Chains A and B, each alone.
Chain A
């Protein structure tokens, strides 16, 4: 069974610091997503990425956030200057094509901002 992997599994950082969350989508997938889930709350869409550019982004995805696909396998989410309210579980997801419906989620990175 193919799977999306994410590193690190946990990250603790000081407010104002930059963090980079890493994801390795499934190898033949073309659509990539970042979501976040604040503890006990719903999953919130952040951004989708296709063909090396952002397809859609939510209001949450402001100038503090950026995504990159630096090579053929990694997909990263950068938060430039973390705030306390950025503490959440961040999930990466990928999908094969627009017609392939299954969206595979990674195990998540739990980010804690102190």
Chain B
């Protein structure tokens, strides 16, 4: 079955440093979503990517979908303490009938 992997598992950064998490799928995806989950909270939708090579930006966050639609990345520029949480990618190969989540990257930001 479809598997989604993410690296790194944990990342500790100093406030102001950049952060990147990478997501890889074992199958070609129709779409990929990114979520943020704060400790004790629920996943909060950040963005969806659909097109091959697509790049989307949200303020300090940059999301990229690979040309082969099997990998994706999330990059945060100049991290802030409010960025703390676990970032999950979730891939679908059937246009959203189901999503397979990656294991997440837990980000810690030291002030």
Contact = CB atoms under 8 A, between A and B. Distances in A.
Partners in one complex: yes
Interface of A: 31, 33, 35, 41-45, 48, 55-59, 91, 95, 98, 101-108
A42 B105 CA distance: 10
B45 A48 contact: no
Interface secondary structure of A, over-half rule: strand
Interface of B: 1, 31, 33, 35, 37, 41-45, 48, 88, 90, 94-104
Contacts of A106: 42
**A-B complex: 6 closest residue pairs judged by Cβ atoms:** A101-B48, A56-B98, A43-B101, A56-B97, A105-B42, A42-B103
B97 A103 contact: no
A107 B37 CA distance: 11
Given A42-B102, A43-B90, A55 B97 contact: yes
Contacts of B37: 43
A43 B98 contact: no
A104 B45 contact: yes
Nearest to A103: B45
A108 B35 CA distance: 15
A91 B43 contact: yes
A42 B101 contact: yes
B88 to A, nearest CB: 6
A42 B45 contact: no
Nearest to A89: B42
Contacts of B35: 43, 105
A34 B35 CA distance: 16
A45 B96 contact: no
10 contacts: A42-B102, A42-B103, A44-B101, A55-B97, A55-B98, A56-B97, A101-B33, A102-B45, A103-B33, A106-B42
Contacts of B99: 33, 45, 103
